[in-house]
């Protein structure tokens, strides 16, 4: 074959193979051999992936200001989010006032929503029920008294508030005061302990569960305008305005003692400040039994131990206390449940001291040769017939309460510096929805000086006319006593209680103008006293009667 013919044949063969290759699809194209050049058509094969890293796409610089003031993001990357950034100060969503701080969103939006000068977690409203954003390290972590994690709040219906949940569903109404809510025990047997219990979480009068399990301060301040209706001259003689009360309390757990509790109460009004009550409580079992040491004022009646912030008629009923609870230097008490469900409980106590109590913790005086040692011993039993009751519970209503029927009965023997007497006390408590009733009787038999029987009774009732707004309360009672027929006339004042017969009734209308913190009370008080202590030459009391009538308007802050 000639050279020309061989060249023509070779060219024809090459052109034929090229046509076959170009007719194949992309998926059927064979990979190029090692060292071979890639085909010219980019559609024939996939791009070759090399080992070189692919540079990231270029990002644009953050905006120079906070563009979105409600998205929860730091748009300009300057460390300040939304309303915390000065760029948002004039944004409508960042203006203060016009809304309450009562939920997680408003308590973390950097806005003083209610315009009270307190921002987010600095506002006490943000430590309320159901708010969790303020329970960080600044408020303290959950302590050992919170043995159960609080469950979610059930859905509220109609005009319900969280206070309406107390005692409903699986919740028992047995833990509603600072003592019961910090003892580490499921006192009412509903499976919720202390601050996990609805009563501890949602009763506004419980302070140990409001966000921090540490030390708490409580203040009751009241300014009163009063008028004496029995004033003999013009209105200027009977009118008065003063700081009627200023009570400060500090309470909380004793450091390093689980389920312990302490309380110090101080009165700051008057001529000098005075510490009036001190209490220290530690557990002695895991079933709710406790040991308490206090300043000697915790006898059989609840009158001395209930805070002034929880008195529905503003003042204690002193004719229920004066002749029966004279106070010792110190008292030790043990108590707890007698049944697993806590419906039957007990407390026993012994107390002692020397001289007359001055009203201050540790304050005693021994004037007139009264150096006799005084002591007392007694016991008290509580029966919860319906629901649960504790002697530290407040008799004042702010929201609806579940039905409760309970009885406290107790007795003691008391040796005072001059007199000796056995005494007994009984208290009946009934609560139902918007109604509250308490009936108490206290009597003693004075062994010395021919004193004989001394008896006092008081009935107190209240109705919540408008829940969380208006509460009406009234009480009536008497003190009756046989006179001391041969008492010495040269004894110091208050060495023997006054035995003047007293009849008293009071009516008070309370208006909660800001939750349970701001209170306005209008009180009418009438008091009849016979034989008001004017002694004749023979040592007998002259027949006399004294009438006192007063109207008082008091504005309180209680927090």
The CA distances from residue 225 to 218, 238, 273, 355, 553, in Å, are: 24, 11, 22, 37, 5
Break the chain into its structural domains and give their ranges: 215-558
**Residue in this structure with the two tokens 């007694």, named with its chain if needed:** 378
Contact 483, 541 (CB under 8 A): yes
Whole-angstrom Cα distance, residue 116 to residue 99?
A: 11
Whole-angstrom Cα distance, residue 289 to residue 187?
A: 10
Tell me how crowded residue 133 is: count the other CB atoms within 10 A of its CB.
15
Q: Which residues pair with 508 in a beta bridge?
A: 473, 523
List, for the chain, all residue ranges whose pLDDT scores fall below the cut of 50: 1-51, 136-148, 212, 533-538
Whole-angstrom Cα distance, residue 373 to residue 415?
A: 8
The CA distances from residue 490 to 96, 452, 493, in Å, are: 67, 21, 9
Contact 237, 231 (CB under 8 A): yes
Output phi, psi for 504, to 5 deg.
-145, 140
Determine the pLDDT at residue 53: 53
Can you give the pTM of this predicted structure? Answer: 0.67
> Which stretches does DSSP call E strand in 235-394?
239-252, 261-267, 274-283, 290-294, 330-337, 344-354, 356-357, 364-365, 373-386
64, two tokens = 């120079």
Strands 502-514 and 518-530: antiparallel
Output phi, psi for 202, to 5 deg.
-115, -15
Fold topology of 215-558: Porin (2.40.160)
**Residue in this structure with the two tokens 């030790």, named with its chain if needed:** 332
Three-state DSSP class for 263? strand
Output phi, psi for 121, to 5 deg.
-70, -10
Nearest CA-CA partner of 495 in 448, 538, 537:
448
Whole-angstrom Cα distance, residue 458 to residue 437?
A: 11
Sign for the pseudo-dihedral over CA of 148, 152, 195, 335: negative
Contact 298, 191 (CB under 8 A): no
Whole-angstrom Cα distance, residue 529 to residue 105?
A: 58
């Amino acid at each position: 074959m000639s050279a020309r013919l061989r060249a023509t044949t070779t060219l024809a063969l090459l052109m034929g193979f090229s046509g076959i290759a170009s007719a194949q699809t992309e998926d059927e194209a064979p990979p190029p051999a090692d060292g071979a050049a890639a085909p010219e058509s980019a559609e024939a094969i996939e791009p070759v992936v090399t080992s070189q890293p692919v540079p990231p796409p270029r990002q644009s610089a953050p905006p120079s200001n906070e563009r979105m003031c409600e998205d929860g993001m730091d748009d300009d990357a300057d460390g300040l989010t939304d309303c915390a950034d000065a760029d948002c100060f004039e944004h409508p969503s960042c203006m203060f006032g016009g809304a309450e701080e009562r939920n997680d969103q408003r308590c973390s939006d950097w806005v003083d929503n209610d315009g009270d000068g307190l921002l987010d977690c600095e506002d006490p409203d943000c430590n309320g029920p159901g708010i969790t954003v303020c329970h960080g390290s600044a408020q303290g972590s959950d302590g050992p008294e919170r043995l159960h994690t609080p469950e979610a709040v059930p859905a509220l219906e109609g005009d319900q508030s969280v206070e309406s949940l107390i005692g409903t569903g699986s919740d028992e109404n047995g833990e509603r005061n600072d003592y019961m809510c910090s003892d580490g025990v499921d006192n009412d047997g509903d499976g919720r302990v202390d601050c996990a219990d609805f009563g501890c979480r949602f009763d506004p009068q419980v302070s140990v569960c409001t966000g921090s399990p540490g030390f708490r301060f409580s203040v009751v301040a009241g300014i009163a305008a009063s008028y004496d209706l029995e004033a003999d001259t013009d209105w200027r003689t009977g009118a008065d305005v003063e700081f009627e009360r200023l009570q400060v309390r500090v309470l909380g757990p004793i450091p390093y003692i689980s389920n312990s509790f302490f309380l110090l109460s101080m009165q700051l009004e008057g001529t000098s400040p005075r510490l009036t009550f001190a209490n220290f409580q530690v557990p002695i079992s895991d079933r709710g039994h406790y040991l308490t040491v206090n300043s000697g004022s915790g006898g059989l009646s609840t009158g001395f131990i209930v805070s002034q912030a929880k008195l529905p008629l503003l003042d204690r009923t002193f004719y229920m206390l004066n002749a029966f609870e004279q106070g010792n230097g110190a008292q030790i008490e043990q108590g707890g449940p007698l049944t697993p469900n806590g419906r039957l409980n007990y407390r026993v106590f012994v107390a002692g001291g020397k001289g007359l109590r001055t009203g201050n913790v540790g304050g005693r005086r021994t004037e007139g040769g009264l150096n006799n040692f005084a002591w007392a011993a007694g016991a008290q039993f509580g029966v919860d017939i319906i629901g649960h009751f504790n002697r530290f519970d407040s008799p004042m209503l702010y929201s609806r309460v579940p039905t409760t029927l309970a009885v406290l009965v107790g007795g003691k023997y008391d040796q005072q510096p001059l007199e000796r007497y056995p005494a007994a006390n009984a208290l009946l408590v009934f609560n139902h929805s918007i109604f509250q009733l308490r009936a108490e009787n206290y009597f003693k038999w004075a062994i010395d000086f021919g004193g004989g029987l001394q008896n006092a009774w008081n009935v107190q009732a209240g109705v919540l006319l408008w829940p969380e707004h208006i509460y009406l309360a009234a009480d009536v009672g008497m003190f009756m006593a046989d006179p001391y027929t041969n008492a010495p006339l040269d004894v110091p004042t208050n060495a023997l209680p006054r035995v003047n017969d007293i009849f008293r009734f009071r009516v008070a209308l309370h208006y909660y103008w800001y939750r349970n913190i701001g209170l306005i009370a209008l009180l009418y008080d009438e008091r009849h006293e016979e034989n008001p202590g004017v002694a004749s030459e023979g040592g007998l009391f002259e027949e006399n009667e004294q009438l006192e009538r007063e109207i008082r308007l008091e504005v309180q802050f209680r927090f």
